Amino acid sequence: MNKEKRSKEFKLKAVKKYLRAGKSLRDVARKLSISYTTLGLWVRKYRESGEIGLNQKRVRKKKIPRELEHQIMMLKEQIPSLGVNKAKQVLAKRGIYVSQGSIWHIWKRYGLAKRSIDDPLSPLCQTTPEAENALTIAKDHISKDDMKSAANIVNRIPCIPADPILEKIPYNLLSPKRKLDRLHMEFSRIPFPAYRRKIHRLTRVLERKGYFFSSILADFFELNALDWMEKPEQKMEVFKRLARKLRYVKSRSLHCLFYGHQAITYCDLLQIKKALSAMRKCRKLLYLLPSSYYLESFASLSTALGNYKEASSLMQKALHKVSDEESIRRLTFKSTATGSVMNGEYRTAHKMLTKVKALKEITGYSASYNLIQGHVAFGQGHLAQASACYLESLQKCTQGELLNRLFATSKGLAAVAMALNRKKEAHMYLRKYLRLMKKHKASRDALVLEQLLGSDAHIPEELLNIQTLRLLNSLAQAERTTKISTYRESLELARRNRILGYFHRSIVFFPSVILRLLEMGRPTGLPQALLKFPIFNQRMPAYHVRFLGKVDITRNQQRVRTRLSPKEQAFLIHLSLRADAPGTFIPLQELCRNFWPQSANPLDRLMHLLSVLKNKLTIPRHSLSVSSRYGEPRLLNRGVYFTTDYDEFRLLVTQAKSLERVGEWIFARRDYVSAFKLLRGEPFRKMYDSWAETARSSILNGVQTEIRHFTHLCSEHGAERDAHKVIERIRTNLHCEIETIPSGDNDT
């Protein structure tokens, strides 16, 4: 409203016009271009006090002193169960008389009342003019490199909104409550072990200074970090503290989250009765908290207990309640993981993953995205792609989630090896990680691996409430008895509980019944993509090409005794690395340019070489053929699998680095040594095509890098003898000088 419309003359004119016109407030206000509520206020004042009333200014309420405001805020912090009425009585005993409304508004300003429904653990709040002005001044101090002044201003703000300024100010200059705000913003941005240590120390500081309400939020942050780190026993210690603080707190949201964490923890500790009891308490509260946040949390709880059918339904309900793009993307991904992927709906899952591809680049989601992508590729029969996705998941996962990710990827990689009918390699993965899971007391994960290994380990009746364990138990029985009826029961169990995808990734470990059904010509209930796997289709050729030394070839675990010329070997290795699975291809132009750059008829030479290889290696004629269906001619793999020892090398090195990051040096050292043992000699020996020369250089450079890294690790752990043995072996086998750095130099 401009200055003219605030004048006494204008107000008087507007009131008299309304009184004379006999029209509604809205009609008169619209003609005067003012708000009808403003006009109504002027009319009321005129009727009460005449013209004098129009000139009276509004009397503002007296502002509560900052010291008293802090005292009222600390009441709620020190006694989280305190209500507004009780707080008023406590203050009255101290001779302080404040209305209930004033108390509630102060608590709200400090983020202690009317907390966000969608993010109840967040200590942050919405932007207010007060906070915005203070942050502007603080940013000005930061631009002048005056961090202390900026920290003093930020620390005085009652409740701060999410702002990058918190991460610019040194952590030690922030007050305990501002440190809590910052750690809330940094969740998943820093390694979970470091995050857990910081939040644990901060909890003690908050309790010592009397900020018990804030310490409750800090305890929940610690639980979230421990959940990612798969540390159920350490979570039990936090529960003891949290139970004391929440005893008299009447907050449905906090109690719902508390019971949810308890249920997941008891499930990890295989205390299923306690887990189901906590889940029932959580479900009762869920009906009173129907927001997307709690639906998503309860869906995660259902997933932990193997109830993917309920989890998928809850994720869909949560998805319908959100509108912002980030939440839609996150919930779409989780819904895909718990719904389409677990139920074996791979086409739908592939489409949904394409829609949320942006998550692939976000820390905290990238590793999970690759893992789910690997499951989809496996279900569609793309074993090489599945293996690559599982490896990428290992490379991208953060330190805190590594133990959980190692378990998931070890199952995935073992499933790929079993699908290729490489049982020995698959069991090697499972046994290695079984020891790791037992060491970290991940009882449920260890039980799953024992079942996949075909162990006779008995699953207690109580644990059969977890549907995935019930399914594995049923499949193990079907494998032992080879009863088709038991297999049918397992398949029906998977369909009923919407875990067909889990069934598909598990059935490769129990192939006997499937092979029997195929012999009898009876339906198996499996997709055709899975039935093409070598484990089920014994006629499907699967070659393993060892070229990190003298070329050695096996076909379906049987050594191929034949002699190949250097060019034939080079072509086979080229084929094994670039067209390693059905559906993959290599453009003919690239092959001709590489192997016959000067030839007048390179295509004829290619067809002749291909024919010779098929004869020597007994590759079915239709498995490798030239196709021009999609434009340029290409050599298409139609039905043969290739694996190489270089794939093994990369896999072992990636796993070793993952184990190294999780702090398991002994396990990592074994994988490094196993990887270096694969280097039996100079790769691509007497192969002089341009691609082989480039690949040789790339592999040797990679080996050099890994040797340097391994040398550093051995130096740090006092295992220089291991490094010396590995270096000498590689120098002898590769006939080349491996450069290493002196012991004690820790630059990598």
Q: Per residue in 332-355, pLDDT tens?
A: 999 999 899 999 999 999 999 998
In a domain, 160, yes or no: yes
Q: Position of tokens 């790769």?
A: 683
486 pLDDT higher than 90: yes
Distance CA 193, CA 200 (A): 11
Average pLDDT of span 614-626? 90
Q: Which residues pair with 587 in a beta bridge?
A: 634
Average pLDDT of span 76-80? 93
In a domain, 323, yes or no: yes
Answer yes or no: do 634 and 660 share one domain.
no
Distance CA 209, CA 229 (A): 29
Q: Position of tokens 């608590």?
A: 107
Coil/strand/helix, residue 546: strand
Name the residue type at position 426.
A
The fraction of the chain above a pLDDT of 70, given in percent, is 95
Residue 50 belongs to domain spanning:
4-54
Answer yes or no: do 248 and 211 share one domain.
yes
The helix-helix angle for 325-335 and 308-320 (nearest 10°) equals 160
Distance CA 125, CA 158 (A): 10
For residue 506, the domain's CATH number is 1.25.40
The fraction of the chain above a pLDDT of 90, given in percent, is 42
Average pLDDT of span 691-696? 90
Whether the CB-CB separation of 185 and 162 falls below 8 Å is answered with yes
Name the residue type at position 39.
L
Round the CA-based radius of gyration of the chain to a whole number and report it: 34
In a domain, 60, yes or no: no
For residue 631, the domain's CATH number is 1.10.10
Answer yes or no: do 189 and 322 share one domain.
yes
Average pLDDT of span 445-462? 84
What pLDDT, on a 0 to 100 scale, did the predictor assign at position 5?
Answer: 54
Name the residue type at position 662.
V
What pLDDT, on a 0 to 100 scale, did the predictor assign at position 58?
Answer: 55
17 pLDDT higher than 80: yes
Count other C-beta atoms under 10 Å from residue 555's C-beta: 15
Q: Which residues make Cβ contacts (< 8 Å) with residue 404, sequence separation at least 6?
A: 228, 229, 230
Answer yes or no: do 501 and 622 share one domain.
no
In a domain, 439, yes or no: yes
**H helices within 717-743, ranges in order?**
720-734
Answer yes or no: do 575 and 599 share one domain.
yes
Answer yes or no: do 174 and 323 share one domain.
yes
Q: Position of tokens 């484990």?
A: 535
Distance CA 252, CA 247 (A): 12
Last residue of a domain, one of 531, 555, 590: 531
Answer yes or no: do 637 and 696 share one domain.
no
Whether the CB-CB separation of 342 and 313 falls below 8 Å is answered with no
Answer yes or no: do 311 and 385 share one domain.
no
Q: Position of tokens 């030394």?
A: 549
In a domain, 61, yes or no: no
Choose the most confident range, by mean pLDDT, from 362-366, 480-484, 658-662.
480-484
Count other C-beta atoms under 10 Å from residue 700's C-beta: 18
Whether the CB-CB separation of 720 and 743 falls below 8 Å is answered with yes
60 pLDDT higher than 60: no
Whether the CB-CB separation of 183 and 205 falls below 8 Å is answered with no
DSSP track, 605-669: HHHHHHHHHHHHHT--GGGEEEE-TTSS-EEEESS-EEEEHHHHHHHHHHHHHHHHHTT-HHHHH
Answer yes or no: do 225 and 311 share one domain.
yes
DSSP track, 30-63: HHHTS-HHHHHHHHHHHHHHTHHHHTPPP-PPPP
pLDDT tens track for 109-128: 898 988 877 788 888 887 78
In a domain, 117, yes or no: no
Whether the CB-CB separation of 446 and 437 falls below 8 Å is answered with yes
| Burial 347-363, CB ≥16 within 10 A → b, else e | eebbebbeebeebbeee
In a domain, 698, yes or no: yes
Strands (E), 470-594: 542-546, 552-555, 558-559, 585-587
Whether the CB-CB separation of 715 and 585 falls below 8 Å is answered with no
Whether the CB-CB separation of 284 and 261 falls below 8 Å is answered with no
For residue 264, the domain's CATH number is 1.25.40.10
- Report residue 394 CA to chain centroid gap: 11
Angle at 534 between CA 531 and CA 535, to 5 degrees: 80
In a domain, 120, yes or no: no
Comparing 20-29, 464-473, 679-688, which segment has the lowest mean pLDDT?
20-29
Last residue of a domain, one of 606, 623, 644: 644
1 pLDDT higher than 60: no
Count other C-beta atoms under 10 Å from residue 493's C-beta: 17
What is the domain count for the chain? Answer: 6
Answer yes or no: do 640 and 651 share one domain.
no
Strands 542-546 and 641-644, by their bridges, are: parallel
Answer yes or no: do 664 and 638 share one domain.
no
Name the residue type at position 117.
I
What pLDDT, on a 0 to 100 scale, did the predictor assign at position 238?
Answer: 94
pLDDT band, very low/low/confident/very high, at 399 (cuts 50, 70, 90): low
pLDDT tens track for 178-213: 999 999 999 878 878 889 999 999 999 999 999 999
Q: Position of tokens 């994720």?
A: 315
Count other C-beta atoms under 10 Å from residue 145's C-beta: 7
Please name which of 717, 713, 720, 703 lies closest in space to residue 748, comparing C-alpha atoms: 713
Answer yes or no: do 304 and 190 share one domain.
yes
Residue 338 is classified by DSSP as I
